[in-house]
Structure 1
Amino acid sequence: MTAQLSVTVHKLGAGIGARIDGVRLGGDLPEEVVAEVRAALLANKVVFFSGQQQLDDAGQLAFARLLGQPTLAHPTVKGEEHANVLAIDSEQGKANSWHTDVTFVDRVPAISILRAIELPPYGGNTVWANTARAYDELPAALKALVDRLWAVHTNLYDYAGHVDSTRIGGVDVKEEAYREEFESSRYETEHPVVRVHPETGERALLLGHFVKRIVGLSSAESRAVFELLQNRVTHLENTVRWQWSDGDVAVWDNRATQHYGVADYDDQRRRLHRITIAGDVPVSVEGVASTTIVGDAAHFSAL
């Protein structure tokens, strides 16, 4: 039996982020503690737990099941020993691009849980941005525009397999193998640029690096609109930056955030394990659901 301490939530910024103390993560958390964690997550978009060295993949998975139904590790990339666990490994590429997890399928994961496994001696922080707050702070004229925009998302590349071509000798063999596996099946989905959060009712921008184009706009217009909105998402006051330590776990609401792994650790090894919780198909402000163009993600996550 593990004694539960008093749960305390410490805000890290006005717009996003909180640290939760007094919780020892695992599959045996009382319902009331899980409810407190979920409430803090919905309010702060990303929450952090320190000192969780007791967790292994099985314990992380058991905790994940308290928040919902875990998906497979990835629609195309195989998991670790547990099929639900994806390794975010610098040997396969660096996660230095703003994104929301797995938006190239119709059933976007609701929650992501990331646990530190091997950390570099310096650098390797992760930054999160609040996409609901970014929408809320748009001028009324921009809201009127983006409320009716749709975007095509594709798995042209994945953040966990983003090729680091700056290495001496070009692309690493492991990176190339990962990329080939990632692109083994093609996915494209048309999502609303503004989705309605199914639990909070908030409106949030659904963008990130998987966006291929804005529907109905030229390439130049798509790029201009995308960059305009992305700049709103990643405004510094709308972000929180976490410096990883051994035993850290981050949990974020994938329906209302983007994140970016900062690649400032040279050739040091960085490895974290991610589990995602099944989500629903995004719905626009007019109540219209996202549409699959290419690919069937039923094996990845049930609806």
Structure 2
Amino acid sequence: MKIRQITPAIGAEISGVNIGEAARDPAVFAEIRAALLKHRVLFFRKQEITRADHVAFASGFGKLEDHPVVGSVPDYPGLVKVYRSDNPHSFENSYHCDGLWRPNPAMGAVLRCLECPEIGGDTIWVNMVKAYEELPDEIKSKIDGLRARASIEHSFGAVMTPENRAKLAQDHPPVEHPVVRIHPETGEKILFVGASFTTHFTNYSTPANVRHGIDKSPGASLLLNYLTSRATIPEYQVRWAWQEGDVAVWDNRSTQHYAVNDYYPAPRKMERAGIVGDIPY
């Protein structure tokens, strides 16, 4: 197994290994898991695997999660189709952490490319540890202890009828997370807000932050916009150009990603296994 680092901040390509076989080899799997913690997203080219291999490999990291809107592939709980062929609309073309709207957002995911456009359809991943580390000290101080609300209602629910959107929100009510979470394995601090799902701070309006009414909403909104924009900084990113058979594995706790929607009407077919995560603290 060889590991080639792609950028200084994030990402590595692993060669000389088949993830289906790695799922059955504890020593190799342990090497891959260690590389994931170091590089945050790993790429494997030309993986000749089955859906069963895909699920087995992802399950090595933990229990797989279903999706309330997309659903799973029949016979493979937790394996979600992300197929784009006849609709230019996409939920994935914004910087996001998967399942931020859950009480326990995903630990990570394993994404497999079945079909991709000849040109376009790349995916970008961002190192959100770096995004936090390089914040100005005064901002770090300001967001220490700050918490934010995240919701599925205004994202996946936006294209639903009011009745179905209300049902989605009832089944998956908004959650509250720390703006800066701690990685449960490495102890790193992570900037943990995202434009797709974070709606507002829940404990911003305190005497320390608000003197007059104008401080309350614009002040909080400007700070949140600044924090979510950190994901767009190129120095924190890696961009992957997909080929059929590629597999990407990422640590969802310390990254965000963006699927570039520049390929319509060409087809792009991916399958993702999301891994259940812990409650952020």
- Shorter chain as normaliser: what TM range? 0.7 to 0.9
Give per-residue Cα distances to partners, 1:50-74, cap 9 Å, x unaligned.
Answer: 010x2232210011112222122x1
Gaps of 5+ in 2: 206-215
Q: CA RMSD in A?
A: 2.2
Q: Tell me whether 1:30 sits opposite 2:35 in the alignment.
A: no
CA distance in 2, matches of 1:146, 1:240: 26
Deviation at 1:35, TM superposition (A): 1.0
Deviation at 1:76, TM superposition (A): 4.2
Under a length normalisation based on structure 1, what TM-score does the superposition of the two structures give?
0.80
Partner of 2:210: none
Q: Would the aligned equivalents of 1:108 and 1:279 in 2 still touch at CA under 8 Å?
A: yes
Q: Would the aligned equivalents of 1:76 and 1:181 in 2 still touch at CA under 8 Å?
A: no
Partner of 1:200: 186
CA distance in 2, matches of 1:265, 1:76: 23
Q: Would the aligned equivalents of 1:133 and 1:238 in 2 still touch at CA under 8 Å?
A: yes
For 1:79, give the aligned amino acid: S
Deviation at 1:181, TM superposition (A): 8.3
Gaps of 5+ in 1: 1-6, 164-174, 284-303
Give per-residue Cα distances to partners, 1:67-123, cap 9 Å, x unaligned.
Answer: 222122x14432112221111122564221110000111111101111012212210
Partner of 1:97: 94
Partner of 2:218: 220
Identity of aligned residues (%): 37
For 1:190, give the aligned amino acid: E
Give per-residue Cα distances to partners, 1:112-147, cap 9 Å, x unaligned.
Answer: 111012212210000010111111111221111122
Change (3 A) 1:124 1:181: farther
Q: Would the aligned equivalents of 1:77 and 1:181 in 2 still touch at CA under 8 Å?
A: no
Partner of 2:248: 250
Deviation at 1:264, TM superposition (A): 0.8
Q: How does 1:228-267 map onto structure 2 within 5 Å?
A: 228-267=226-265
For 2:139, give the aligned amino acid: L
CA distance in 2, matches of 1:203, 1:220: 26
Q: 41, 65, 71: which one pairs with 1:71?
A: 65
For 2:46, give the aligned amino acid: G
Q: How many residues align?
A: 261
SS at match of 1:26: helix
Under a length normalisation based on structure 2, what TM-score does the superposition of the two structures give?
0.86
Give per-residue Cα distances to partners, 1:173-211, cap 9 Å, x unaligned.
Answer: xx769xx58963342100000000000000001111100
